[in-house]
Structure 1
Amino acid sequence: MRVLVAAVPHASHLNIIIPYAQALQNAGHEVCLGTAPGGEDAVTAAGLTAVTFGEPTPLSLQNWKKHGLLPDQETRERFADALALTAEERGHWDVFYQYYAFNARFFLQREPRADIDGLIAFGRAWRPDLVLWDAWFPLGGVIAQACGAPHARVLIGPDYSGWAYETFTARGGPSVAAVGENPLTDALRPVAERYGLDVGDDLVLGRFALDPVPPERRLTEDVPVRPVRWITYNGGGVKPAWLHAPPERPRVAVTLGLSVRLWRRGGDPRLPKIIEALADQDVEVVATCTREQLAGIGRLPDNVRAVDYVPLTQLLPTCAAVVHHGSSGAFLSSIAAGVPQLVVHTGESIRMVFSGDGDDISVSNADRDADSWLTAGYVAERGAGEPVDHLTQSAADIRTVIERVLRDPAYRNGAAELQQEWRARPGPADVVPDLEKLSAEQG
């Protein structure tokens, strides 16, 4: 069959969906990976065929504001009140409204655009038998319906869009309608209607979602899902010499992800206490951080090696523990490696605050990842790690937590148990028959 895979053109998204495209290609299917400009090199480096149109749209606050894409905080709060959200639900809503819906609007602008309409035109010309799309790239549903193909989503973490869709369906009423439409369907509607499509369950959710998140943390109740094993794909790389042999001392990785590098400037406030907490310990620290992220720390301790980037597939298997920011990617990759985790999490609400204008516009936000509510709690609950809070804990407090995780074998046992559960889930190759069946049902 012909399969069109569609995704956001950023490594933090492409690296998640590429293993599914490779599994389909390895099963003998013809695969194209459609994305917006900017992701072509990552796709072709993976041995896949890339399809893209138009010119790259700048990923900048200035451009986002120019096109009216920045989240409106007053509207966010009005929706939360009208939907009668609980405190926990408000956390999910904040992530959906400020991150997911914003991302959806970026790739679903109301006026015709070459990168959007080009992918739809390609789908109609190529006529895939199946469309598989990154859940943060809802244009995939439009592409699928425009060319008459069945489609499914690939979740990269908690299903915020599915949760929001269920919530609006269950609680929508006059008070909610007075605020507005679900931001996702509102973003989809102009593009869908341009192609004569209705915005309904199938377009928004697909037939089912491939879900790597532990079922205990699933946000939706009735959205069909297929459990799947997360595959840590980093695009490969030459193994550095210092990774050739096992470390002489316990190795601790410190990673804060890739996405934050797009917008944070002037040093990462989470790092100073973490580095200080690790400085006096008999460990080897590998901090996968840029010079920009390390700004303000000064001279690094002798036991800290800073590298801009090294694939987690190379680094994590050599580690006794990992300190990370709480993203689903770092969390699931650490589970796959069987490594105890220290997850940076604070009690802050996710709130984007914009200031300035023109070239001087800036944004401030909570010093925590959007998914850390899930990851920090889960590793602690399962005995595979502990949360750390750089806002409420001193460097000495964080040092005590790190030492406990390194010395107590119970954490290694907890991490090993999670790894075994991860191995028992079906991998991308194992779900290919489900995808083939979906295509056959449509035919």
Structure 2
Amino acid sequence: MRVLFVSTPGLGHLFPMVPLAWALRARGHTILVATASDALDGAASAGLSAVDASPGFDRRALIARLREEQPELLKKRLQMRLTTLEEASGFFARMTERLVDGVVDAAQRWRPDVIVQSQVQGAGLVAAGRLGLPLVEHGFGFARTPNISQKIFEKATGAFERHGVSALPESATIDVAPASMIDGHPSGWPMRYVPYNGGRVLPDWLLEPERRPRIAVTLGTIAPDFGGVDPIRRLIELAPSVPAEFVLATGSADLSGLGTLPPNVRAAGWVPLNELLPSCAGIIHHGGAGTTLTAAACGTPQLVMPSGADRHINAAAVERRGVGISLEPEVPVSAEILHRLLDDPGLMRTAAEVRAEIAAMPAPAEVAEHVERLV
């Protein structure tokens, strides 16, 4: 069986699909990923063959240009507080237009038996409709998206009409969110969230026993492109008053504006969260779906400072279930909140409960059998 994975060009959409791709390949199937920009390299780094669905598209260069030419647009993006992903369907429709021709071309040449796409990506819908293929929509977070495909279909009419698709294809859905953390009912096939954050050579300090409680700090793969590292400035100022080691897992983000870091703050660059979090008493992050689910799967209490997009939805899920604390952008972080993240037994107990819940969900290998039966 040949399986074409279609991903929005962002690591946060690609990474949750990697374990299923691996599981299908382990069962003898052939995998190809169609995406662009950062996700293209991300797929190749995960050992998956990939094709560029939008040559020349560079997400980081686009954001840099917007920062220079339309700073108010970026500011609005950071202030966005989605309650459903349907509210951002216009953006997803535009992304569909960027990818659709390349995805359909790859599908026509490669001839897959089934398409698996990241939810909210319309190019997979077009390709499946064009070739008459079964489609699986792969969830990536806590937002419920029952009407998002219809909204994309209505707003990206040019993409569908250009390829002769007059109706949405039939589709199945994979839901990676633990049931106790969602506002509503699971969608389709439940699947255990297996954290994948890329591979790296681990630093020696991560393999040594920690001498004091450790708190991970990350802003994900996209948020620093929009707002830099300003969200953690206050945190760095408070760090000396907290008896913990803070690990800034901020990738290639420019930290120079933070000045000299306190002795108990370690700038670690890019560290896979699934390797870092088992040694951590807590994590502070921006509310990205992948980060939130990785922390939940590791049983790590969370302090979420959401910064636009679907991150307020994810932060609300954390607060509602009791696995962490949600702090609105206008509320400054305090030493008291940091001490609570470290010491609150309720957070630790509930985080452990959710970790066990996720571990009991069907593994990607089991869901791979559903994909086979669908074909």
Normalized against structure 2, the TM-score is what?
0.87
Secondary structure at the counterpart of residue 270 of structure 1: helix
How many angstroms apart in 2 are the aligned matches of 1:373 and 1:38?
A: 24
Task: Say if 1:316 and 1:339, in contact at 8 Å, map to a contact too.
Answer: yes
How many angstroms apart in 2 are the aligned matches of 1:273 and 1:64?
A: 26
How many angstroms apart in 1 are the aligned matches of 2:357 and 2:207?
A: 29
Does the C-alpha gap of structure 1 residues 197 and 378 become closer, same or farther in structure 2, counting only changes over 3 Å? closer
Residue matched to 1:249: 212
**1:400 aligns to 2:328 (yes or no):** no
**1:135 aligns to 2:119 (yes or no):** yes
Structure 1 residue 54 displacement after superposition: 5.4
Secondary structure at the counterpart of residue 380 of structure 1: helix
Does the C-alpha gap of structure 1 residues 63 and 107 become closer, same or farther in structure 2, counting only changes over 3 Å? farther
Q: Which has the higher contact order (CA 8 A, sep 6+)?
A: 2
Does the C-alpha gap of structure 1 residues 370 and 54 become closer, same or farther in structure 2, counting only changes over 3 Å? closer
Secondary structure at the counterpart of residue 230 of structure 2: coil
Tell me the alpha carbon deviations over residues 207-249 of structure 1, each in whole angstroms, 9 at most, x when there is no partner: 221111233555677x951111112112211010111112100
Number of residues paired by the alignment?
A: 365
Give the unaligned 5+ runs of structure 2.
74-80
Secondary structure at the counterpart of residue 107 of structure 1: helix
Residue matched to 1:185: 153
How many angstroms apart in 1 are the aligned matches of 2:102 and 2:313?
A: 37
**1:24 aligns to 2:13 (yes or no):** no
Give the unaligned 5+ runs of structure 1.
72-89, 110-114, 167-181, 346-367
Does the C-alpha gap of structure 1 residues 37 and 409 become closer, same or farther in structure 2, counting only changes over 3 Å? closer
Tell me the alpha carbon deviations over residues 383-426 of structure 1, each in whole angstroms, 9 at most, x when there is no partner: 32222345224x5xx21122123123332211111100010111
Q: In structure 1, which of residues 388, 391, 413 is the aligned counterpart of residue 327 of structure 2?
A: 388
**1:375 aligns to 2:299 (yes or no):** no
Residue matched to 1:426: 362
Residue matched to 2:304: 343
Residue matched to 2:104: 120
Secondary structure at the counterpart of residue 236 of structure 1: coil
How many angstroms apart in 1 are the aligned matches of 2:328 and 2:187?
A: 35
The letter of the residue matching 2:267 is A
Structure 1 residue 276 displacement after superposition: 2.3
How many angstroms apart in 2 are the aligned matches of 1:207 and 1:118?
A: 21
Does the C-alpha gap of structure 1 residues 305 and 422 become closer, same or farther in structure 2, counting only changes over 3 Å? same
- Which segment is superposed worse, 292-301 or 13-22? 292-301
Secondary structure at the counterpart of residue 50 of structure 2: strand
**1:278 aligns to 2:261 (yes or no):** no
**1:208 aligns to 2:172 (yes or no):** yes
Q: In structure 2, which of residues 71, 75, 83 is the aligned counterpart of residue 92 of structure 1?
A: 83
Residue matched to 1:436: 372
Does the C-alpha gap of structure 1 residues 433 and 416 become closer, same or farther in structure 2, counting only changes over 3 Å? same
Secondary structure at the counterpart of residue 365 of structure 2: coil
How many angstroms apart in 2 are the aligned matches of 1:281 and 1:5?
A: 44
The letter of the residue matching 2:35 is T
Task: Say if 1:388 and 1:401, in contact at 8 Å, map to a contact too.
Answer: no
Task: Say if 1:5 and 1:132, in contact at 8 Å, map to a contact too.
Answer: yes
How many angstroms apart in 2 are the aligned matches of 1:314 and 1:294?
A: 22
Task: Say if 1:162 and 1:220, in contact at 8 Å, map to a contact too.
Answer: no
**1:153 aligns to 2:137 (yes or no):** yes
Task: Say if 1:131 and 1:149, in contact at 8 Å, map to a contact too.
Answer: yes
Tell me the alpha carbon deviations over residues 26-65 of structure 1, each in whole angstroms, 9 at most, x when there is no partner: 1111221122355443222222221235522233158789
Does the C-alpha gap of structure 1 residues 64 and 208 become closer, same or farther in structure 2, counting only changes over 3 Å? farther
How many angstroms apart in 1 are the aligned matches of 2:190 and 2:344?
A: 31
Task: Say if 1:163 and 1:220, in contact at 8 Å, map to a contact too.
Answer: no
The letter of the residue matching 1:92 is T
How many angstroms apart in 2 are the aligned matches of 1:431 and 1:326?
A: 27
The letter of the residue matching 1:259 is I
Does the C-alpha gap of structure 1 residues 290 and 299 become closer, same or farther in structure 2, counting only changes over 3 Å? farther
How many angstroms apart in 1 are the aligned matches of 2:328 and 2:145?
A: 28
How many angstroms apart in 2 are the aligned matches of 1:301 and 1:339?
A: 24
The letter of the residue matching 1:252 is I
Does the C-alpha gap of structure 1 residues 370 and 392 become closer, same or farther in structure 2, counting only changes over 3 Å? same
How many angstroms apart in 1 are the aligned matches of 2:110 and 2:311?
A: 40
Structure 1 residue 142 displacement after superposition: 0.9
Tell me the alpha carbon deviations over residues 186-221 of structure 1, each in whole angstroms, 9 at most, x when there is no partner: 343212212221133x3xxx5221111233555677
Residue matched to 2:162: 194
Residue matched to 1:327: 288
How many angstroms apart in 1 are the aligned matches of 2:192 and 2:30?
A: 23
Q: CA RMSD in A?
A: 3.0
Structure 1 residue 159 displacement after superposition: 4.3
How many angstroms apart in 2 are the aligned matches of 1:392 and 1:40?
A: 37
Greater Cα radius of gyration, structure 1 or 2: 1
Does the C-alpha gap of structure 1 residues 37 and 256 become closer, same or farther in structure 2, counting only changes over 3 Å? closer
Secondary structure at the counterpart of residue 3 of structure 1: strand
